[in-house]
Amino acid sequence: MKLSVVIPMYNESSIVEETVRTVDAAMAARLSAGDYELIFVSDGSTDGCAELARAMTADHPALRVLEYSPNRGKGCAVRTGVLAAEGDFVLFTDCDLAYGTDLIFDFLARFEEGGCDVIIGSRTLGGYDGYPFLRKLMSKTYLKVISVAAGFSHSDSQAGIKGFSQKAAKAIFNRCEENGFAFDLEALMEADRQGYEVAELPAVIVNHRESKVRPIHDAMNMLKQVRKIKKRQKAKKKNQ
């Protein structure tokens, strides 16, 4: 079984080299050569992070670097990487490795157990360890509002780590169009629409960055995106 790890990046020159080394070392310690690939996708970066990563391919043969311009959003970067992935199991996570590397293998083990096509990380199941009380409250409220509006029961649509079988990855992301922050939500809504079995695993942030989330502003924008996504899905269903 081959694992594909997709990592989107936008102006991550300060951390990309360390991330490549950390992820590749973690993969090599547990998997055989040829059983994994690392796909770093530059989302129109202007700080040279794609060049830095590409310079490492000689020492890290599992590494592939994709890039495009101009910047289009994280959703486009993830979609580009996922659709290029060759693994039986395709997982994406963030360049800052917010959830570390051990969770990647928890996802892989759960996939190998069978019974699911999609696996999502859940901060709700993880107990929001390390979150200040106010941020925890705002995040949980935000997710509840979005889940009700989107009409699905998953506990966390926005955690930055998700995995898919090869079949589900291609089927879902080939029908996704969202480039911005709502891309996770669209992917899950599409997974539900296509009838894929979704499993959840606890996700705990181990590498904290300052949050850029603006709860009220972002919730309103997300609700607008939910309406657009549902409208697109309705149109696609009519054309099937």
What are the structural domain ranges in the chain? 3-239
- With a CB cutoff of 8 Å and minimum separation 6, the contacts of 54 are 65
Rounded Cα distance between 228 and 169, Å, is: 22
Which residues, given as ranges, of the chain have pLDDT below 70?
128-145, 147-151, 208-219, 236-240
What pLDDT, on a 0 to 100 scale, did the predictor assign at position 116?
97
Q: Is the peptide bond before 70 cis (omega within 30 degrees of 0)?
A: yes
What pLDDT, on a 0 to 100 scale, did the predictor assign at position 204?
93
What pLDDT, on a 0 to 100 scale, did the predictor assign at position 222?
73
Rounded Cα distance between 9 and 45, Å, is: 8
What is the radius of gyration, based on Cα positions, of the chain? 17
Exposed, middle or buried: residue 233 (CB in 10 Å: 0-12, 13-18, 19+)? middle
What pLDDT, on a 0 to 100 scale, did the predictor assign at position 157?
84
What pLDDT, on a 0 to 100 scale, did the predictor assign at position 154?
83
Rounded Cα distance between 229 and 79, Å, is: 16
What pLDDT, on a 0 to 100 scale, did the predictor assign at position 180?
87
Name the DSSP letter for residue 182: T
Rounded Cα distance between 131 and 145, Å, is: 19
SS3 content of the chain, % helix, strand, coil (to 5): 45, 15, 40
CB atoms within 10 A of CB 210: 4
What pLDDT, on a 0 to 100 scale, did the predictor assign at position 149?
66
What pLDDT, on a 0 to 100 scale, did the predictor assign at position 153?
73
The CATH code belonging to domain 3-239 is 3.90.550.10
Q: What's phi and psi for 176, nearest 5 deg?
A: -95, 145
Full-model pTM: 0.88
